[in-house]
């Protein structure tokens, strides 16, 4: 409960705290996923530098497209809070 008060004092609204936790968990899992994917690519015959470049590039492109499309959809339908 003390941590919630500290976060509220820092300006984090209570309704967004679970969202921030979910993003932190997702990004941790995403880092593990990239590691396993790079290892898989090396096992398929890519060099480690080729595998990491490919995995990072593909992730970056998808993240950029996802961010852009989320912005477009939020503009089209509006952000809704329940």
Q: Which of 4, 66, 3 has its CA nearest to residue 30?
A: 66
Examine the pLDDT at 31 and tell me if it is beyond 80.
no
Report the pLDDT value the prediction gives residue 82, as an integer from 0 to 100.
59
Average pLDDT over residues 55-80: 86
Examine the pLDDT at 10 and tell me if it is beyond 90.
no
Q: Would the CA dihedral through 81, 11, 8, 66 be positive or negative?
A: positive
Average pLDDT over residues 45-54: 91
Q: Which of 65, 43, 41, 45 has its CA nearest to residue 55?
A: 41
Q: What percent of the chain has pLDDT over 70?
A: 95
Average pLDDT over residues 48-71: 88
Length of the chain: 82
Examine the pLDDT at 44 and tell me if it is beyond 80.
yes
Cβ 41 vs Cβ 51: under 8 Å: yes
Report the pLDDT value the prediction gives residue 80, as an integer from 0 to 100.
67
């Amino acid at each position: 409960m003390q941590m919630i008060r500290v976060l509220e004092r820092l300006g984090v609204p209570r309704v967004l705290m679970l969202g921030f936790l979910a993003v932190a968990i997702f990004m941790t899992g995403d880092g593990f996923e990239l590691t396993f994917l790079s290892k898989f690519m090396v096992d398929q015959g890519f060099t480690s530098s080729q595998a990491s470049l490919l995995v990072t590039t593909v992730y970056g492109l998808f993240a950029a497209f996802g961010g852009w499309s989320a912005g477009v959809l939020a503009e089209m339908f509006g952000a809704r809070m329940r």
